[in-house]
């Protein structure tokens, strides 16, 4: 990792740009995959799974027998951990329920808003070298709380045509039983268009590689909603001299091991701390099973020495990280200055891993600078907000003139007439 020392503000834009990775004809390739799925359904899914995963599938849907077998393969220790994490995640997302409130905007005019669940949602769960069963908790729990009627899950099979047992257990633990052995862009296509086996959904959730991300982007253009734009994982750590260098190094590596395209950034006002983190990072790196992956990610990562913590926060707000750790004194006092971030971790003991697994917050977050305009997944992601209004005779009399004037000014006379005809009716009734 390179160190950048006190870069002038005019150069910051260049540093906050995420690294670009070669993706020759990515859109064309993904569009071809989606079109095959749209036209050929299950046959396309089986052929594409054979091509990309080297697996010949007999059945796309996971059987009840497979689910039962998976449960037996998951240790009691992991089952207990999943249950504890689920309770925490459920508690946090339950707290996000909106209370319906009727507001009388003017006498006789009542307005309110109600949340209603998106009926059919699809969850994409990566299942490669790092099967993300934790993501099922992050997506499945708010979907259940919201009341989504149909929840389906797609995840790629391994070389034996099987699904990781932890993925199957976690899904069934939440009551998700429609699970399909399909991954990549073809899974997104299956959920977007529907096949003979995989149902069509209204909204697609979940992270994935560049093919999955591009597929989500493309199906969105066809009217299928997605959770948020997502790219490679990232963390930005702001640390001062009070930070523990070993903690900081561990946090940086926790994201670097996600993938070669991940990016990790350290901002500090202490040159000494940066050097200590470098040493600790190299020492810890040698012990990681995914060291080769993390090393590649570190090639695209960097340290920045700045003059103050305030300056570090300004840089962070421009970068808009997926995960932001404030390993600084009085972190809570600086929290109010954070404007752009997916999820924030305050203090030396608030590791990013806690948010990934068990603290309760959601780990499905905007990346690639999208935290400037997007929130992470929450209960709101699984509902639509419908507004209602009830206008009485008194109400239409109170706001009618206002509507007539505005409609006439926009030259929309039918709009005006919809009010005028009511006002005249009331006027005539009052005469009689």
Active-site residue (options: 276, 322, 352, 404)? 322
8 Å CB contact between 293 and 259: yes
Beta pairing partners, 203: 121, 225
Closest CA to 188 of 123, 261, 258: 123
Is 363 a known active-site residue? no
* Residue 347 neighbours by CB distance under 10 Å: 16
As averages over each run of 10 residues, the pLDDT of the chain (432 residues) reads 95 92 84 98 97 94 95 96 98 95 97 97 88 96 98 95 96 96 97 98 94 95 92 94 98 95 96 98 96 95 97 98 97 96 97 97 95 96 97 97 98 98 95 82
Beta pairing partners, 264: 235
* Residue 388 neighbours by CB distance under 10 Å: 11
What CA–CA distances, in Å, run from 225 to 104, 200, 203, 228?
33, 12, 4, 9
* Residue 159 neighbours by CB distance under 10 Å: 8
Q: What does pTM read for this prediction?
A: 0.93
Active-site residue (options: 234, 323, 352, 404)? 323
Domains annotated for the chain, with CATH where assigned, are 29-80+114-228 (3.40.50.1980), 231-375 (3.40.50.1980), 392-431 (1.20.5.1300)
181 burial level (CB within 10 Å; 0-12, 13-18, 19+): buried
8 Å CB contact between 381 and 123: no
Closest CA to 250 of 359, 354, 138, 129: 354
- According to DSSP, the β-strands at 203-205 and 225-226 are parallel
The H or E element spanning position 388 is: strand 383-391
The H or E element spanning position 245 is: helix 245-256
What CA–CA distances, in Å, run from 143 to 180, 240, 286?
18, 39, 40
The H or E element spanning position 351 is: none
d(CA 364, CA 314): 24
Closest CA to 49 of 39, 38, 60, 40: 60
Beta pairing partners, 122: 152, 204
First CA to last CA across the chain, in angstroms?
A: 85
Is 323 a known active-site residue? yes
The H or E element spanning position 79 is: helix 76-94
């Amino acid at each position: 990792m390179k160190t950048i020392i006190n870069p002038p503000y005019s150069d910051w834009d260049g540093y906050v740009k995420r690294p670009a990775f070669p993706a020759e004809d990515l859109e064309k390739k993904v569009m071809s995959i989606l079109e095959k799925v749209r036209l050929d359904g299950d046959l396309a899914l089986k052929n594409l799974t054979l091509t990309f995963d080297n697996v010949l599938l007999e059945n796309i849907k996971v059987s009840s027998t497979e689910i039962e077998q998976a449960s037996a393969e998951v240790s009691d220790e992991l089952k207990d951990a999943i249950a504890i994490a689920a309770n925490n995640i459920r508690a946090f997302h339950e707290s996000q329920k909106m209370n319906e409130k009727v507001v009388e905007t003017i006498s006789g005019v009542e307005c309110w808003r109600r949340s209603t669940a998106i009926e059919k949602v699809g969850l994409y769960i990566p299942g490669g070298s790092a099967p993300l069963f934790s993501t099922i908790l992050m997506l499945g729990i708010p979907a259940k709380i919201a009341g989504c009627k149909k929840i389906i899950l797609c995840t790629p099979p391994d070389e034996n045509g099987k699904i990781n047992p932890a993925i199957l257990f976690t899904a069934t633990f939440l009551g998700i039983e429609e699970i399909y052995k399909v991954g990549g862009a073809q899974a997104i296509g299956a959920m977007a268009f529907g096949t003979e086996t995989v149902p069509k959904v209204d909204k697609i959730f979940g992270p994935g590689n560049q093919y999955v991300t591009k597929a989500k982007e493309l199906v969105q253009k066809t009217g299928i909603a997605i959770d948020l734009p997502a790219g490679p994982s990232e963390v930005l750590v702001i640390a001062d001299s009070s930070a523990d260098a070993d903690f900081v190094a561990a946090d940086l590596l926790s994201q670097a091991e996600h993938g070669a395209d991940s990016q990790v950034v350290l901002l500090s006002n202490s040159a000494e701390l940066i050097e200590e983190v470098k040493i600790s990072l190299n020492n810890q790196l040698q012990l990681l099973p995914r060291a080769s992956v993390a090393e590649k990610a570190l090639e695209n990562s960097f340290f920045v020495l700045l003059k103050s913590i305030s300056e570090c926060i300004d840089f962070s707000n421009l970068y808009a990280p997926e995960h932001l750790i404030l390993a600084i004194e009085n972190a809570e006092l600086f929290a109010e200055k954070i404007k752009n971030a997916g999820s924030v971790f305050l203090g030396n003991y608030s590791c990013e891993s806690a948010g990934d697994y068990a603290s309760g917050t959601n780990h499905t977050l905007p990346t690639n600078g999208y935290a400037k305009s997007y929130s992470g997944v929450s209960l709101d992601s699984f509902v639509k907000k419908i507004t209602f209004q009830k206008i009485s005779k008194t109400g239409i009399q109170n706001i009618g003139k206002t509507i007539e004037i505005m409609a006439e000014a926009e030259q929309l006379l039918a709009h005006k007439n919809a009010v005028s005809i009511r006002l005249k009716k009331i006027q005539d009734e009052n005469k009689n």
